Amino acid sequence: MAVPILLLLIGLVLLVKGADWLVDGASVLAKKRNVSDLAIGLTIVAFGTSAPELVVNVVAASGNYPDIVFGNIIGSNNFNLFVILGLSGLIIPLSVQSSTVWKEIPYSLFAAIVVLVMVNNFLLSGGMDISRMDAGILLVLFAAFLYYVATQLKTEEGGEKMEVKDYSQLKIWTLILIGLGGLVLGGKLVVDNAVSMAQSLGVSEKIIGLTIVAAGTSLPELATSVVAAYRKNTDIAIGNIIGSNIFNIFLILGVSGMVRPLEFNPSFNTDIYILMGGTIFLFLAMFTGKRKKLDRWEAFILLATYLLYTGYLVGMES
């Protein structure tokens, strides 16, 4: 057990440092190219921090472990929304741009609804699964999201004024690439060893997916958003989470379904409903207290909800 624990700790260090380097490189790149922090958070940072989910899910789909696939995606999105935004919002109230309120948050809710409809076959007859046709639709919707982000890159101004370091192009891309490498390697070390430890304790595949794997692959988002919040770069803190949740469903679940059709366990429906409820709460939070801002008390509600639900899951398992 000592070796998995050591590798788990090494993975955590790689995740934290990788996220730090990635935020540094991405922030400077955004300013040098005169694009907003929000746009860079929705693209480079979101894709980079979603890389561990992609690696884990491709491996899980290839091995025909659908509960790991769905647990990782749904669990990661819930962890992102409730824990990471909760912690980030406790560090500093998160100001949110109008485009995030009216476009990105609703689009992330739309993504959850699409998955709910697909896996339960509300519109078409058939089994409860993600077929390759469903996966293709998810990837088309992901392409539509990328098109939207591309239009944002062209039309948005530079975003919030912030002091950035004067890095050369070589140093910027070195930071981004090393950061991505650290995230992927660190995420894999964390997940592999956490799963090994959990399986030795007889925990079910679904619970492993929803908790240990989801939290492990979401550590890059946690590190990136907490670092960004600490630096008062709230656009990257929240843009990273919303962008990652959209990436997870449309890109990662789409790629996973292309690797192998995925049978759906209907017990995951509850977790999808919780994801939808949390997203609706985030949207409504933009109109309570200070407008277009996630206040600390709202962030606390998100975090407390996740802790209560996780406690419920573990209690049901035992």
Average pLDDT of 1-12?
Answer: 82
Separation between Cα atoms, residue 209 and residue 192, nearest integer Å: 12
Among 29-43, 177-191, 300-314, the least confident range: 29-43
Separation between Cα atoms, residue 295 and residue 286, nearest integer Å: 9
pLDDT in tens, 142-158: 999 888 877 776 665 54
- More confident of the two residues 309 and 128: 309
Q: What percent of the chain has pLDDT over 90?
A: 35
Give the per-residue pLDDT at 43. 65
* Alpha helices, DSSP H, located in 63-168: 66-78, 85-91, 98-99, 105-120, 132-155
Q: Is the pLDDT of residue 139 over 90?
A: yes
Does the pTM surpass 0.75? The reply is yes
First vs last Cα of the chain: how many Å apart?
22
Q: DSSP states of 252-272 as a string?
A: IHHHHHHHS-EE--GGGHHHH
Give the per-residue pLDDT at 138. 96
- Give the pair of three-digit tokens for residue 290: 């200070």
How many other β-carbons are positioned within 10 Å of the β-carbon of residue 29? 19
Domain spans in the chain, listed from the N-terminal domain onward: 2-317
Whether the CB-CB separation of 264 and 129 falls below 8 Å is answered with: yes
Give the per-residue pLDDT at 158. 46
Q: Is the pLDDT of residue 178 over 90?
A: yes
Selection from 87, 83, 77, 93 nearest residue 307 by Cα: 83
Q: Is the pLDDT of residue 41 over 70?
A: no
Separation between Cα atoms, residue 283 and residue 50, nearest integer Å: 23
Mean pLDDT, rounded, of the chain: 84
Selection from 305, 182, 162 nearest residue 234 by Cα: 162
Separation between Cα atoms, residue 169 and residue 165, nearest integer Å: 12
How many other β-carbons are positioned within 10 Å of the β-carbon of residue 128? 15
- More confident of the two residues 42 and 282: 282
Per-residue confidence at 255, pLDDT binned at 50, 70, 90?
Answer: very high
Average pLDDT of 124-150?
Answer: 86
Q: Is the pLDDT of residue 205 over 90?
A: no
Average pLDDT of 69-74?
Answer: 93
Q: Is the pLDDT of residue 308 over 70?
A: yes
Topology of the domain covering 2-317: A middle domain of Talin 1 (1.20.1420)
Q: Is the pLDDT of residue 162 over 50?
A: no
Using alpha carbons only, what angle is made at residue 108 by residues 289 and 226, rounded to the nearest 5 degrees? 60
- H or E, element range at 306: helix 296-317
- Give the pair of three-digit tokens for residue 85: 């935004």
Per-residue confidence at 119, pLDDT binned at 50, 70, 90?
Answer: very high
CA of residue 293 relative to chain centroid, distance: 20
Highest mean pLDDT among 32-46, 103-117, 126-140, 283-297: 103-117
Which residue, chain included where needed, has tokens 């050369």?
168
Per-residue confidence at 111, pLDDT binned at 50, 70, 90?
Answer: very high
Give the per-residue pLDDT at 118. 93
Average pLDDT of 38-57?
Answer: 71
